[in-house]
Amino acid sequence: MTQNAVCVFCGSQPGRRAEYVAAAREMARLLAQSGIELVYGGGHVGLMGALADAALAHGGRVVGVIPEHLMRPEVAHQALTELIVVDSMHTRKQTMARRSDGFIVLPGGFGTLEEMFEMLTWLQLRLQAKPVALLNVAGYFDSLLQFLEHAAGEGLIRREHQDLLLVERAPAQILARLSAYWAQAPVTLRASGDTSLG
């Protein structure tokens, strides 16, 4: 089955390590060269901007989804293939989810984590069937993964739900994991969960 859209969640700050920006650019390059459309939060700053610029530089199609209150020129990317302006953060997530066949999580802050956990929750509750993959760049998410292991050990997260989060340390490995997931999917993923997301 051919997949053609992936949503990437990542920070609006570049972070202190050069590895974060490098990983965002490499992930974007691989998506573009694989013919996979990038769906993301529509910003031109931080890791978001590096991701979008790299995908565009490699001939990729890039769709940004941004709420009206973030549409200031210094925040919104003005050179995307498509920029969708929505009325709220909630509608932003719904739109990105509908437009995508899977999710990749790069380093980020509160917003990135909130987006990741909502997609994981939808997957756990079978509101959608799209894979969620975390790129653990330079060990950025090590402490979070340790916490999830702790929560599972305490009986508050089931092991099978913990395993829903696909974790890798390199962009190529992430893309390979998503491709393997998609190869097993019997139907087009983008259609899954639409009635629950809107």
104-163 pLDDT tens trace: 999 999 999 999 999 999 999 999 999 999 999 999 999 999 999 999 999 999 999 999
Domain 5-181 listed as CATH 3.40.50.450: yes
- For residue 72, the model assigns a pLDDT of 74
> Per DSSP, which regions of the chain are E strands?
5-9, 37-40, 62-67, 82-86, 103-105, 132-135, 165-168
What is this structure's pTM? Answer: 0.91
| 8 A C-beta contact, residue 70 and residue 76 | yes
Q: Where are the domains of the chain?
A: 5-181
State the distance between the two ends of the chain, measured CA to CA, in whole angstroms. 25
Query: Which residues neighbour 124 within 8 Å (Cβ) at sequence distance 6 or greater?
Result: 161, 164
